[in-house]
A and B are shown apart, each in its own frame.
Chain A
Amino acid sequence: MEHIELFFKSIFIDNMVFATFLGMCSYLAVSKKVATAVGLGAAVIFVLAITVPLNWLLDQYLLQPGALSWLGEEYADYDLSFLSFIMFIATIATMVQLVEIVVEKFSPALYNSLGIFLPLIAVNCAILGGSLFMQSREIESLGLAFNYGVSSGIGWFLAILAIAAIREKIRYSNVPPALRGLGITFIITGLMAIGFMSFGGMLTGGGDTGKGNEMSQTAIDKIIVEVDKIDNSKN
Chain B
Amino acid sequence: MGLFKDSNLITDPLADNNPVTIQVLGICSALAITAELEASIVMAIAVMFVLGMGNVVISLMRNIIPSKIRIIVQLIIVAALVIIVDLVLKAFAYQLSKTLSVFVGLIITNCIIMGRFEAFALANKPWRSFLDGIGNAAGYGIILVIVGFFRELLGSGTLLGFKVLGDSIEKTGVYAYGYENNGFMLLAPMALITLGIIIWIQRNKNTALIED
Chain A residues in contact with chain B, CB under 8 A? 18-25, 28-29, 82-86, 89-90, 93-94, 97, 119-120, 122-125, 127-129, 132-133, 136, 176-187, 189-191, 193-194, 197, 221-222, 224-225, 228-229, 232-233
Complex: A89 Cα to B71 Cα, angstroms: 11
Residues on the B chain within 8 Å of A90, using CB: 72, 75-76, 79
**Of residues 181 to 204 in B, which have CB atoms within 8 Å of A's CB atoms?**
186-193, 195-197, 199-201, 203-204
Residue of A nearest to B99 (CB): A225
* A contacts with B: majority SS: helix
**A182 CB contact (under 8 Å) in B78, B98, B102, B199:** B199
Q: Given A132-B106, A178-B210, A221-B101, is A25 in contact with B71 using a C-beta cutoff of 8 Å?
A: no
A183 lies within 8 A of B196 (CB):
yes
Residue of B nearest to A136 (CB): B102
**A119 CB contact (under 8 Å) in B26, B31, B71, B191:** B71
B86 within 8 A of A: yes
B188 lies within 8 A of A193 (CB):
yes
> Which of the 9-residue segments B1-9, B54-62, B107-115, B170-178 touches chain A?
B107-115
**A85 CB contact (under 8 Å) in B35, B79, B204:** B79
Given contacts A24-B31, A177-B210, 16 further A-B contacts (CB under 8 A): A20-B32, A24-B27, A86-B83, A93-B71, A93-B72, A94-B72, A125-B29, A125-B106, A127-B109, A132-B106, A181-B212, A185-B196, A190-B193, A191-B189, A191-B193, A197-B189
B106 lies within 8 A of A128 (CB):
yes
A22 lies within 8 A of B114 (CB):
no
Residues on the A chain within 8 Å of B86, using CB: 82, 85
Q: Given A94-B72, A125-B109, is A184 in contact with B188 using a C-beta cutoff of 8 Å?
A: no
11 A-B pairs with CB atoms under 8 Å apart are A25-B27, A83-B83, A85-B82, A85-B108, A86-B83, A93-B75, A97-B71, A183-B203, A187-B197, A190-B191, A224-B98
**B192 CB contact (under 8 Å) in A119, A122, A193:** A193
Tell me the minimal C-beta distance from A6 to chain B in angstroms. Answer: 18
Tell me the minimal C-beta distance from A132 to chain B in angstroms. Answer: 4
The 5 closest A-B pairs by CB, nearest first: A181-B211, A186-B196, A190-B192, A178-B203, A24-B27
Complex: A28 Cα to B105 Cα, angstroms: 21
Residues on the A chain within 8 Å of B72, using CB: 90, 93-94, 97
Mark contacts of B110-127 with chain A using CB atoms, 8 A cut-off: 1 yes-contact digit, 0 otherwise. Answer: 110010000000000000
Complex: A8 Cα to B105 Cα, angstroms: 26
A178 lies within 8 A of B188 (CB):
no
Tell me the minimal C-beta distance from B79 to chain A in angstroms. Answer: 4
**B25 CB contact (under 8 Å) in A19, A25, A94, A122:** A25
Complex: A197 Cα to B190 Cα, angstroms: 12
Tell me the minimal C-beta distance from B75 to chain A in angstroms. Answer: 5
B199 lies within 8 A of A85 (CB):
no
Residues on the A chain within 8 Å of B32, using CB: 20-21
Complex: A94 Cα to B75 Cα, angstroms: 11
Residues on the A chain within 8 Å of B187, using CB: 197
Tell me the minimal C-beta distance from B194 to chain A in angstroms. Answer: 8
Residue of A nearest to B110 (CB): A125
Residues on the A chain within 8 Å of B109, using CB: 89, 122-125, 127-129
B63 within 8 A of A: no
